[in-house]
């Protein structure tokens, strides 16, 4: 059991990062990311759609809220601001701008802010907005200027600055060319300071025309394709959410490496983590008196002298067959070093040689880094096209960082895919699939079982067809993490009880039963003999096991001292079970930090051999 459990993190146990590999994409973070929502608050934004569709304003607030909460979960150190323009009331740091209402200035989002955005949603929200801000004249220039001030008031170093304009008016100043000009100037000032301006234009009757005004306001897209500027306005919440999400996350390479095809042919590539297991964050320690966070310092010192040990004063050791083997710290590192970091092409294989079950780690994504080696994108693109066309993958040896042993990876080509709205949903590049070594495959002994007959198979096919659905990877929320954050939210906001979470990975039993109708019984009649109950057997077994287990556990497992010594002498301690070893440790007053069998054995051996 212990072995299986090792792969499932127990709650609250700080997980040791596996060689830092899983630590996600944030390498060399040099500052904070920031995002300003600049939202049109004019009357047009509050017009409800046909059939009770939410207003553009309502939709925007939902998106803002979801960004707030996702930032809290995934990147709480990012700064976010919410600013309205075209308001009647004004509220900004020095109150120097009219018709601009800074609802939230640039700061880390917290529980209170989420609540405040919530208040602006729906019917009630529209009323609240009308009361507090109202709709008035529009000066986008002033609004942009005000946002520029928000950025400059921040004392922290900002690495990524983005501003998103949400509006359904393509001519905000109704042809007032002076105001248009001022807005353009302010926009270019902002862009000069490194702010990227995006337009999230929303549906309006008669269509939204980007050309006359906003084309000059927004930043030029990264590439020259048409993808950067979405010409179609959003009319669905889902679309808007997707567009915002795609822009809102700054992509950071986990590593920049060379993909070496041969001597002197190095393509610069960045490695990106596109799926990283989200875990509940680690707890932080607070000082009881003040609730302020405390810092922890770990020190290594000498037991006898009490003096701090410098790195040069410690070594590393392992014990095998009763012998301690000692190495210098840098030797331990050097053992792991095979080559310098990089990807080295071994050759190509047809796609069918990539086995589904050869999976040991989540994949990462490869994209060229034209900024490191010029010409990389072209060669990369050619490789991508040809691999995809010929349905082959590239096999590479991969050393992801310094002093990491090599692993072999399959570079699987992935062509770009865009949806009807020209929004990219699959980026172009190679997926990097980590391949197992011989050690990673286990030998199993599959039981010999009779196969099902075609009638039985066909019945199951009916069942399968009844329960078909279209799988989407983003459809399932993690109930553990969601519950955790709902709990925190409730505590932070002094709510009576946390909001209910729906467990999306719970089977909808009633619906399934209903859909299957008599099929389940029919299938069972075909495969199970009368009186066979798949549940009863194991349940009965388990019950006796529990009863027996309790009864058996009571007598303490003790081994006489001389027997233990004999085991130590012969190196056969491994024969004893973990509980027995633990008991023996207690018996001899051996203190062990570990609970692994080997650690117990090591501890006992050192104690008894002395």
Partner 1 sequence: MAGTKSALVLCMDVGFSMSNSAPGEEPPFELAKKVIQKFVQRQVFAENKDELALVLFGTDSTKNPLDRDGQYQNITVHRHLMIPDFELLEEIENQVHPESQQADWMDALVVCMDLLQTETKGKKFDRLNVALLTDLSTQANQDHLDVIIENLKQAGITLQFFLPFPAEDDEEGGGDSDRRGPGHPGTGKGLSREQKESLDLVKHVMLSLDEEDGLDQVYTFRDAIEQLCMFKRIERRPMAWPCQLTIGSCLSIRIVGYKAVTEERLKKMWVTVDAQSNQKEDVKRETVYCLDDDNETEVKKDDTIQGFRYGSDIVPFSKVDQDQMKYKHDGKCFAVLGFTKQNLVRRHQFMGSQVVKMFAPKDDEHAGVALSALIRALDELQMVAIVRYAYDRRSNPQVGAAFPCVKQDYECLMYVQLPFMEDLRQFTFPSLENNKKLSPSDTQLSAVDSLIDSMMLVQKDDDDADQKDIFKVHHIPNPAFQRHFQCLHHRAVNPGTPLPPMEPWLKAALERPDVISERCQAPLEEIKRKFPLIEVEKKKKLKTSAQIFGKDAEEPDAKKAKGDEEEDYNLADIAEGSVTSVGSVDPARDFRTLIKLKSLPFGEVCQQLTHRIEQLLSNKNTHYYMKSITCIQAFREQSVKFLVVEEKKEEAAVPSAEDTGDVDDLLDMM
Catalytic residues, by residue number, are 28
Nearest-approach distance from CB 364 to partner 1, in angstroms: 9
- Please say which residue, 191 or 251, places its beta carbon nearer to partner 1: 251
Binding residue (CB under 8 A) for partner 1 from 29, 47, 231, 360: 360
Please report whether residue 375 would count as binding partner 1 according to CB under 8 A. yes
Q: Which of residues 43-82 bind partner 1 (CB under 8 A)?
A: 68, 71-74, 76
117-125, 139-147, 210-218, 382-390 -> range binding partner 1 (CB under 8 A): 382-390
What tokens does 102 get? 């800074």
46-54, 107-115, 206-214, 580-588 -> range binding partner 1 (CB under 8 A): 107-115
Nearest-approach distance from CB 138 to partner 1, in angstroms: 31
Give the H or E element holding residue 200. strand 195-201
Binding residue (CB under 8 A) for partner 1 from 116, 232, 436, 587: 436
Encoded one letter per residue, x for contact with partner 1 by CB under 8 A and - for no contact, window 307-336 reads -xxxxxxxxxxxxxxxxxxxx---xx-xxx
Give the H or E element holding residue 76. none
What tokens does 223 get? 């590439």
- Please say which residue, 98 or 250, places its beta carbon nearer to partner 1: 250
Distance CA 163, CA 198 (A): 6
Binding residue (CB under 8 A) for partner 1 from 29, 47, 286, 609: 286
* 378-387 burial code (b ≥16 CB/10 A, e <16): ebbeebbeeb
Binding residue (CB under 8 A) for partner 1 from 52, 207, 262, 555: 262
Nearest-approach distance from CB 330 to partner 1, in angstroms: 8
Please report whether residue 563 would count as binding partner 1 according to CB under 8 A. no
Q: Angle CA(62)–CA(64)–CA(68) in degrees, nearest 5?
A: 115
Encoded one letter per residue, x for contact with partner 1 by CB under 8 A and - for no contact, window 442-461 reads xxxxxxxxxxx---xxxxxx
Please report whether residue 4 would count as binding partner 1 according to CB under 8 A. yes
Pairing of strands 79-85, 265-272: unpaired
CB 189 within 8 A of CB 167: no
Task: Give the rounded distance of the alpha carbon of 574 from its chain centre.
Answer: 40
- Please say which residue, 96 or 453, places its beta carbon nearer to partner 1: 453
Encoded one letter per residue, x for contact with partner 1 by CB under 8 A and - for no contact, window 194-233 reads ---------------------------xxxxxxx------
Distance CA 409, CA 396 (A): 5
Give the binding-site size for partner 1 (rule: CB under 8 A). 236
Please report whether residue 401 would count as binding partner 1 according to CB under 8 A. no
Q: Which of residues 458-517 bind partner 1 (CB under 8 A)?
A: 458-461, 463-465, 467-485, 487-489, 491-492, 498, 501, 503, 505-509, 512-513, 516
Cross-strand bridge partners of residue 601: none
Please report whether residue 293 would count as binding partner 1 according to CB under 8 A. yes
Nearest-approach distance from CB 386 to partner 1, in angstroms: 5
- Please say which residue, 152 or 473, places its beta carbon nearer to partner 1: 473
Nearest-approach distance from CB 548 to partner 1, in angstroms: 16
The three-state DSSP-derived secondary structure of 541-601 is: HHHHHHHHHHHHHCCCCCCCHHHHHHHHHHCCHHHCCHHHHHHHHHHCCCCCCCCCHHHHH
CB 83 within 8 A of CB 146: yes
What tokens does 348 get? 């190509």
Pairing of strands 32-40, 158-167: parallel
Please report whether residue 543 would count as binding partner 1 according to CB under 8 A. no
Q: Which residue has the tokens 């008599």?
A: 518
37-45, 127-135, 187-195, 240-248 -> range binding partner 1 (CB under 8 A): 240-248
Please report whether residue 544 would count as binding partner 1 according to CB under 8 A. no
Spell out the residues 6+ positions from residue 527 whose beta carbon is closer than 8 angstroms to its own: 452, 456
Q: How many residues appear in the chain?
A: 610
> Does residue 202 sit in helix, strand or coil?
strand
CB atoms within 10 A of CB 245: 14
């Amino acid at each position: 059991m212990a072995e299986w459990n090792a792969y499932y993190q127990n709650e609250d146990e700080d997980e040791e990062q596996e060689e830092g590999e899983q630590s996600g994409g944030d390498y060399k973070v040099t500052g904070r990311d920031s995002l300003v929502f600049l939202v049109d608050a004019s009357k047009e934004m509050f017009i409800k759609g046909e059939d009770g569709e939410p207003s553009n304003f309502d939709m925007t607030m939902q998106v803002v809220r979801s960004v707030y909460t996702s930032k809290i979960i995934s990147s709480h150190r990012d700064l976010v601001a919410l600013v309205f323009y075209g308001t009647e009331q004004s509220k900004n740091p020095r109150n120097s701008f009219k018709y601009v209402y800074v609802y939230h200035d640039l700061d880390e989002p917290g529980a209170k802010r989420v609540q405040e955005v919530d208040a602006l949603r729906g019917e009630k929200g529209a009323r609240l907005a009308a009361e507090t801000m109202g709709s008035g004249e529009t000066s986008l220039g002033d609004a942009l200027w005000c946002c520029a001030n928000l950025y400059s008031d921040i004392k922290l170093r900002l690495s990524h600055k983005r501003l998103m304009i949400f509006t359904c008016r393509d001519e905000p100043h109704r042809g007032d060319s002076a105001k248009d000009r001022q807005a353009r100037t302010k926009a270019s000032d902002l862009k000069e300071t490194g702010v990227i301006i995006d337009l999230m234009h929303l549906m309006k009757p008669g269509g939204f025309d980007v050309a006359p005004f906003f084309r000059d306001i927004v930043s030029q897209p990264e590439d020259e394709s048409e993808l950067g500027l979405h010409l179609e306005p959003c009319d669905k919440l889902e679309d808007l959410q997707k567009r915002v999400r795609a822009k809102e996350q700054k992509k950071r390479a986990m590593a920049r490496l060379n993909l070496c095809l041969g001597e002197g042919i190095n393509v610069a590539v960045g490695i990106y983590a596109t799926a990283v297991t989200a875990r509940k964050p680690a707890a932080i320690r607070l000082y009881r008196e003040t609730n302020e966070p405390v810092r922890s310092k770990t020190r290594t010192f000498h037991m006898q002298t009490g003096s701090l040990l410098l790195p040069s004063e410690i070594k590393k050791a392992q014990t095998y067959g009763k012998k301690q083997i000692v190495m210098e710290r840098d030797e331990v590192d050097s053992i792991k070093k095979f080559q310098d970091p990089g990807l080295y092409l071994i050759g190509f294989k047809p796609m069918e040689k990539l086995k589904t079950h050869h999976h040991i780690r989540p994949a990462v994504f490869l994209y060229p880094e034209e900024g490191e080696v010029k010409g990389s994108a072209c060669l990369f693109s050619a490789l991508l096209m040809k691999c995809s066309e010929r349905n082959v993958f590239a096999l590479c040896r991969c050393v992801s960082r310094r002093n990491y042993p090599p692993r072999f990876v399959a570079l699987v080509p992935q062509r770009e895919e865009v949806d009807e709205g020209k929004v990219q949903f699959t980026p172009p590049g190679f997926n990097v699939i980590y391949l197992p070594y011989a050690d990673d495959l286990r030998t199993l002994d599959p039981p010999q079982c009779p196969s099902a007959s075609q009638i039985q198979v066909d019945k199951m096919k009916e069942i399968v067809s009844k329960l078909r659905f279209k799988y989407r990877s983003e459809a399932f929320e993690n109930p553990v993490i969601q519950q955790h954050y709902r709990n925190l939210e409730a505590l932070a906001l002094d709510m009576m009880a946390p909001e209910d979470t729906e467990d999306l990975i719970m089977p909808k039993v009633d619906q399934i039963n209903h859909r299957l109708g008599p099929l389940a019984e029919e299938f069972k009649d075909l495969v199970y003999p009368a009186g066979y109950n798949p549940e009863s057997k194991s349940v009965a077994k388990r019950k006796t096991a529990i009863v027996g287990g309790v009864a058996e556990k009571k007598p303490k497992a003790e081994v006489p001292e001389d027997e233990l010594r004999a085991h130590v002498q012969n190196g056969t301690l491994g024969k004893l079970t973990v509980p027995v070893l633990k008991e023996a440790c207690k018996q001899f007053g051996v203190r062990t930090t570990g609970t692994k069998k080997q650690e117990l054995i090591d501890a006992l051996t050192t104690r008894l051999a002395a």
